[in-house]
Amino acid sequence: MSDPINLAVARAVKATEKEAKRNEEQPTRWCPFCGSMNLQAARYVSDEGELGTFTIECGNCGAAGPPALHLEEAVRAWNKGP
């Protein structure tokens, strides 16, 4: 939810969108913080530009779900809740 993380995530969203589209697992649970369904797949990027773990991020308030090595796992974790 802090700005530095959101900036890093924003850099990786474009690259992750393609993967999200062909991914069978989709977020089905609304954002627990603001109730929005404006969710997007994101991927953390290190300062060196290396791609890291996936997460599901709320496009409305910026809340992020649990990080996971694979996008499907991140989606499942988001759907499962905290």
- Number of residues this chain uses to bind Zn ion (CB under 5 A): 8
**Is residue 60 a contact point for Zn ion (CB under 5 A)?**
yes
Based on the shown chain and the rule CB under 5 A, indicate whether residue 58 belongs to the binding site for Zn ion.
yes
Closest CB 39 distance from Zn ion, rounded Å: 8
Write the burial class of residue 43 (CB in 10 Å: 0-12 exposed, 13-18 middle, 19+ buried): buried
Report whether 27 contacts 75 (CB < 8 A): yes
- 63: contact with Zn ion by CB under 5 A: yes
Tell me how far, at minimum, the Cβ of 49 lies from Zn ion, in Å: 27
DSSP state of 48: T
Contact call for residue 1 and Zn ion (CB under 5 A):
no
DSSP 8-state symbol, 21: H
Neighbour tally for 48: CB within 10 Å: 5
Could you say which residues in the range 3-22 bind Zn ion, by CB under 5 A? none
Chain positions contacting Zn ion, by CB under 5 A: 31, 33-34, 36, 58, 60-61, 63
